[in-house]
Structure 1
Amino acid sequence: MKFYVPMLGKLLVAEQQSSKWQLDSHLVGIQTMCLAIDPFHAERVYCGTYGRGLWRSNDAGHSWEPIGDVPFITGKGGISSGNITAIAVSPTERSGEYGVVYVGTEPSMLFRSEDGGASWQELRAFRELPSASSWSFPPKPATSHVRYITPDLHTVGRVFVAVEAGALVRSLDGGQHWEDRVPAGPIDTHTLVMHPAAPNRLYSAAGDGFSHPGKGYQESYDAGLSWQYPDEGLSEHYLRSVAVDPADPDTIVITAAATPPSFSAGSAEPAIYRKTRGKPWQKVWQEKGSMLLHVASHEAEPGVFYAAGFKGIYRSPDAGLTWDQLAFSWGEEGITGEQLARARNAGLMRQFPQALALSDV
């Protein structure tokens, strides 16, 4: 398994070679934020940065080039913000060799590319939604950003987009038209995933539980039209991420904390919880200072979960019950005080790493 880990001052790519781990740093000195792998062509990888725009790799992360910036592709349409906060590649929409790419920014705008990032169309109807005037990111209340993009695994053209903070919205036609948030839906979704064996089911890890305990984890069985809040067993309600066992849509793990600062390096106290069908949530991991922020799974490894934190990557071979750190780690070397200051000013505090993406290529 290969790991892509966007961090405050670099993009880390980790891959096991025989009995050793190869760790390579890319985009050093750049605040990397998010990453997506093309499901049709796993060597094609996109990385979003804060302030330096969108980057692309055509060789599974070995080399990178900037794309999407208006000055570089004048006349073809570009991404008008250099703050890329979310990326996704659709598994059901394809143009030629590659999947259709969606990119979200700060301030909240959404873009779509049908030619692998050579040109971009802004999906203007997104920021014309009635709720848009209320979107606001608490650390920077004058603005908001696209936090997560989830193209539907089953229905062509259906896309879900989470705004931090203010809405979870959806499109049924590839982003040309949008349906606004529903009254009982999540307002501050941080991660939104689907499962190939569960059409129309959405799993949301949200910050809603901080001000409304019991609404941190939310599920929909009808593609976002209505929502449920199974929270029995949770003692922390501010959620950061969610992942689902590739072999079982009812085996779920989340990262949760009591408050947003509990996810920052100076006071890291997040926990990992696990849930199975018909059972309450079970806390399976909590270690002060580990800052396990992001959980993920991959179809190539059913029953296995990974978590990225302040000290490195952890693996669970038993569907989330137990966790062990992989034989490599990282620290804050290479992250300058100036970069940390910029991260705090951007409302990121010292959240580290920013995301976790897995590939078997």
Structure 2
Amino acid sequence: MKAFCAFPSGLFVVEDGAVRERLGDVTPTCVAVSGDTVCCGTSDAGIRRSVDGGESFHRVADFERAHVTALAVGPDGTWWAGTEPSALYRSDDGGRAWRETAPLTDLDSSDEWSFPPRPDTHHVRWVRPRPDDGDSLAVAIEAGALVRTTDGGDTWRERVPGGPLDAHTIATHPGTPDRLYAAAGDGYHESSDWGETWETPESGLKHTYCWSVAATERDPDTRVLSAASGPRAAHSEGGAAVYRREAGTDWTRVPAVSGDDLLAPVLAAGAGRTVYALSNHGLQRSTDGGRTWRRVALGYAPEERATGLALAP
């Protein structure tokens, strides 16, 4: 397993215990991988792209937006990039050329979108393609909406009542393609009908500013969640926590990846019951659905906030 770990200071490629640092001259915000192609979004230099598994990176020349806030790859190989201000772009050639979808800001609710630290703007926080349909996407706007498309971004469906307004991460599972898991600033949300209706199963959560969520490959009902008491605790002051939940149970806190100085981990599901957590505590791995954890790479950096994590087999 190769892990691409994004921090503001650079992108770290972890493989077989070895760590290689890349992109130390830009500020990574997100990362995605498909085969040997790796794309890293930045806050100051657009997209950097690699076609050799992260050994070397080059700037995508025709990507005009500098501030890239989200990246994803669909099951059909289509690449997606979200930006600030909120816009979504697609690439049908592995990330070389990009074009904008129908404008997200044509939606009526866009007048209410606002990112609290910069209230005059907003951005695409997360893009999640449906596991069995590359034209269907769920897109989180920070902050104000979770919107969807079923035609590859030609048209957009407005946010629905009861849905998350400040989703930070959207997860899916290939075994239950209708299901959405959303870790949001306004709590934890799940949908069983691809975002038409939502529930908020939060019993056991003592932190409800939710940041990242992953469902294990083996069981879509085994979820791991990172959360904090609020944005400062999640990103600067520390005190974040990790929880896990199985079918028919409440959320339980996992002490091994919680702590007074922990910044909210970014989570990603690996094979079987494996889950990875990236934070200022380094890269940690659980092989039992989040019950127990151990650090596998990267040192402890008290103020280093993780911004993205992507896994390649």
Could you say which residue in structure 2 is the equivalent of 1:318? 288
Whose strand fraction is larger, Structure 1's or Structure 2's? 2
Could you say which residue in structure 2 is the equivalent of 1:96? none
Say yes or no: does 1:241 pair with 2:212.
yes
Residues 351 and 207 (structure 1 numbering): CA distance in 2 closer, same or farther, change over 3 Å? farther
In the TM superposition, residue 113 of structure 1 has moved relative to its aligned partner by 1.3
Question: Match of 1:264, SS?
Answer: helix
Say yes or no: does 1:268 pair with 2:238.
yes
Say yes or no: does 1:102 pair with 2:80.
yes
Could you say which residue in structure 2 is the equivalent of 1:76? none
In the TM superposition, residue 269 of structure 1 has moved relative to its aligned partner by 0.6
Say yes or no: does 1:80 pair with 2:64.
yes
Could you say which residue in structure 1 is the equivalent of 2:8? 8
Q: Which runs of 4+ in 1 moved over 4 A?
A: none
Question: Match of 2:135, SS?
Answer: coil
Q: Distance in 2 between matches of 1:119 and 1:304?
A: 34
In the TM superposition, residue 114 of structure 1 has moved relative to its aligned partner by 1.2
Q: Distance in 2 between matches of 1:35 and 1:305?
A: 17
Equivalences for 1:42-81 in 2 at 5 Å?
42-67=35-60, 69-70=61-62, 79-81=63-65
Q: Distance in 2 between matches of 1:327 and 1:146?
A: 30
Alpha-carbon RMSD across the aligned residues, in angstroms, is: 1.4
* Residues 121-157 of structure 1: per-residue CA shift (max 9 Å, x gap): 1113322111111110000000001000001101341
Q: Distance in 1 between matches of 2:59 and 2:25?
A: 15
Could you state the TM-score of these two structures normalised by the residue count of structure 2?
Answer: 0.96
Say yes or no: does 1:355 pair with 2:308.
yes
Q: Distance in 2 between matches of 1:157 and 1:327?
A: 36
Identity of aligned residues (%): 40
Structure 2, unpaired ranges of 5+: none
Could you say which residue in structure 2 is the equivalent of 1:23? 19
Between 283-292 and 226-235, the greater mean CA deviation after superposition: 283-292
Could you say which residue in structure 2 is the equivalent of 1:136? 114
**Contact 1:263 1:291 (C-alpha < 8 Å) held by counterparts:** yes
Residues 294 and 2 (structure 1 numbering): CA distance in 2 closer, same or farther, change over 3 Å? same
Could you say which residue in structure 1 is the equivalent of 2:267? 295
* Residues 74-114 of structure 1: per-residue CA shift (max 9 Å, x gap): xxxxx3310000011111x3xxxxx1111100111111111
Say yes or no: does 1:164 pair with 2:142.
yes
Say yes or no: does 1:36 pair with 2:32.
yes
**Contact 2:84 2:121 (C-alpha < 8 Å) held by counterparts:** yes
In the TM superposition, residue 330 of structure 1 has moved relative to its aligned partner by 4.9
Between 237-246 and 255-264, the greater mean CA deviation after superposition: 255-264
Which residue identity does 1:53 align to in structure 2?
G
Say yes or no: does 1:259 pair with 2:230.
yes
Q: Distance in 2 between matches of 1:59 and 1:30?
A: 19
* Residues 170-225 of structure 1: per-residue CA shift (max 9 Å, x gap): 001000111010011100000001101112000000001xxxxxxx1100000000
Could you say which residue in structure 1 is the equivalent of 2:278? 308
Could you say which residue in structure 2 is the equivalent of 1:176? 154
Question: Match of 1:55, SS?
Answer: strand
Q: Distance in 2 between matches of 1:58 and 1:180?
A: 36
Higher gyration radius (CA): 1
Say yes or no: does 1:119 pair with 2:103.
no
Say yes or no: does 1:220 pair with 2:191.
yes
**Contact 1:292 1:307 (C-alpha < 8 Å) held by counterparts:** no
Could you state the TM-score of these two structures normalised by the residue count of structure 1?
Answer: 0.83
Q: Distance in 2 between matches of 1:156 and 1:358?
A: 19
Q: Distance in 2 between matches of 1:115 and 1:123?
A: 15
Which residue identity does 1:85 align to in structure 2?
T
**Contact 1:81 1:107 (C-alpha < 8 Å) held by counterparts:** no
In the TM superposition, residue 292 of structure 1 has moved relative to its aligned partner by 4.5
**Contact 1:123 1:176 (C-alpha < 8 Å) held by counterparts:** yes
Say yes or no: does 1:187 pair with 2:187.
no
Aligned length: 311
In the TM superposition, residue 321 of structure 1 has moved relative to its aligned partner by 0.9
Which residue identity does 2:284 align to in structure 1?
Y
